[in-house]
Amino acid sequence: MNTSKIKNVLYIVLIAIVSSIVTILGYNVANSNNINFLDKSKTSTTSEEIGLYSNSFNQDKNVVLTNLMTSEGYPDFTEAAERSVDGVVHVKTKTLSSQQYINPFDFFFGFGERGPSQPREQVGFGSGVIISKDGYIITNNHVVEKANEVLVSLNDNREFVAKVVGNDPQSDLALLKIEGDDFPYLTFGNSDALKVGEWVLAVGNPFNLTSTVTAGIVSAKNRGNVMGGGLQSFIQVDAAVNPGNSGGALVNTRGELVGINTAIYSQTGNFAGYAFAIPISIAGKVAADIKEYGTVQRAYLGIKVQNIEGVRQEDPAKARELSQIKGVLVDDFSDRSASKAAGMEKGDIITAINNATINNFAELQVQLNRYRPGDKVNVTVNRNGKTQNFNVELKNTEGNTEISRVTNPLDKLGAKFASISEERKSELGITSGIEVESVESGGLFRKEGINKGFIILRINNTPVNSENDLNSIVASIQNRQDKVLLVAGFYPNGRTQYIAIDLSSE
């Protein structure tokens, strides 16, 4: 081969090499730019409402990650997982239960009681998510609702006794607090922006195995009919979630908290393919309300809707017709209805709240859970094929716009308490108890005849040994319709008495 041909071949090879390098570099730059573009589009990752909830816990808006990719182009979960495990805690609960039999005659007529049985300690486990530097933790209500003591273990093995700040059975959420000022925590992401098919991580303590991370995708949003009553708008995921994951974190690939893992779909009690999480758009508001007011503020339109499942049993054809409606059909109004006062009518189909599209009741619930009584919303309805808008001032269940507040749950009782030493318990022949040290003239204890020296054995059949026990029991019924305490106790050398105290009375 002559010299000129060799030069031509080398020239072609050189051009091919340069072209390949340019192509590869161009692809990498384009890919990098594309990733940067996606990240920039997500720089404001929280909605306005979720931002307000994160402000309640002084979350640092800069503590987020970028979406990471492996060199092969696959999502990289390592950074999100590493950060999340430090913000997710192991929750251990201790509950004292007594199997003591109470004779009905004892209950109604105040005769003597059978000797107390030895209380039995039950231990439960779950997960929780630290959401602030100073130690506020979100978990599920069912993890802590009956606990006499709540212990929290961090990923670095530090253990703390946690206080139950408040709970909300309706959403199955509770807010805990541990003492400190420099805890790792997860910032709130935008659960509204989640898309079906998006990667998410479930972080928790399944089967008491701490710091466990599983990955999956969002399988559905606004999923209803998961649990009877209460919240009916869940994020459905296929990440493996098992007993012990309750109260743990659902995070996106940026390491942001987008949900609280709550339930699984299973006929065996273990993971069978799908799990459900409470969106942070709801959980964040519940936590912020409990912190600020002591109880959750719920706002209502004052409408009644038909239960499609109930209709389906009686009239399948009508149920099919209802299921085709895009929106929520107003079937009737409650007393003192906010929406009726604004001009809405039976037969209106709600299609949007403040321009957020409403396709079903679950989506309506998600939107209303953002607001408090007294907030004004713009409701878009379809009335006989025509679009109309109504400005509705939302109300509470009492039909007004007042914000309810709960302070110390024991304040209404109007009493101070003293612990009883084990030696004195032995002398009195009891295994649990706390003594009333003093009572106030305007409190419920004085009203119901409980005075200084009364020894409380149990409340609502739960043994009481400390003021923390009292706080937990009283706090656990704050959101129930029936706010009654059944106090079992006695005066030294007196018979056992059963006294009912209604906390809903003023």
**Domain spans in the chain, listed from the N-terminal domain onward:** 1-41, 88-177, 303-393, 411-502
Task: Tell me the pLDDT of the chain averaged across its residues.
Answer: 83
Assess whether pLDDT exceeds 90 at residue 379.
yes
pLDDT at position 412, please? 80
- Residue 394: predicted pLDDT: 96
Q: Greater confidence, 68 or 311?
A: 311
Q: Residue 111 has what pLDDT?
A: 42
> Which of 20-34, 41-55, 128-142, 491-505 is modeled with the greatest confidence?
128-142
User: Could you tell me the two tokens for 66?
Assistant: 């970028």
Establish whether 182 is a catalytic residue.
no
Q: Which of 47, 233, 246, 432 is catalytic?
A: 246
Catalytic residue, chosen from 172, 192, 238, 469, is 172
3-state secondary structure 72-137: CCCECCHHHHHHHHHHEEEEEEEEEECCCCCCHHHHHHCCCCCCCCCCEEEEEEEEEEECCCCCEE
Q: Is the pLDDT of residue 205 over 50?
A: yes
454-490 residue pLDDT tens:
999 999 888 899 887 887 788 767 656 677 899 999 9
- What does the DSSP assignment read for 185-206? -PPB--GGG--TT-EEEEEE-G
Between the CA atoms of 383, 389, 390 and 395, what dihedral angle is there, to the nearest 10 degrees? 90
pLDDT of residue 152 exceeding 90: yes
Residues ≥6 apart with Cβ < 8 Å to 307: none
pLDDT at 246: 95
From residue 195, how far is each of 9, 24, 53, 80, 248 by CA, in Å? Answer: 52, 31, 22, 18, 21
Assigned CATH class of 303-393? mainly beta
Confidence band of 42 (pLDDT split at 50, 70, 90): very low
Predicted confidence band of residue 208 (pLDDT cuts 50, 70, 90):
confident
pLDDT of 397 over the 70 cut:
yes
- In the residue annotation, 20 being an active-site residue is answered as no
* pLDDT for position 264: 86
Give the pLDDT confidence score for residue 72 in this predicted structure: 73
For 411-502, CATH number out of 1.10.3720.10, 2.60.40.10, 3.40.50.150, 2.30.42.10 equals 2.30.42.10
User: What is the structure's pLDDT at 8?
Assistant: 56
Q: How confident is the model at residue 31 (pLDDT cuts 50, 70, 90)?
A: very low
Residue 134 annotated in active site: no
CB contact at 8 A, 400 and 293: no
In CATH terms, are 88-177 and 411-502 the same topology?
Answer: no
Q: How do residues 228-287 score in pLDDT, each as one tens digit?
A: 666 778 999 999 999 999 999 999 999 999 999 998 887 787 888 899 999 999 999 999
pLDDT of residue 291: 94
As a whole number of angstroms, the distance between CA 370 and CA 297 comes to 10
* Phi, psi (degrees; rounded to nearest 5) at 130: -75, 130
User: What is the pLDDT confidence band of residue 143, given thresholds at 50, 70 and 90?
Assistant: very high
Beta bridge partners of 188: 257
3-state secondary structure of 451: coil
pLDDT score at 102 = 47
- CATH number of the domain at 88-177, please? 2.40.10.10
pLDDT at position 499 over 70:
yes
From 56, 90, 106, 142, active-site residue? 142
The average pLDDT across 493-498 equals 91
483: three-class secondary structure by DSSP: coil
pTM equals: 0.73
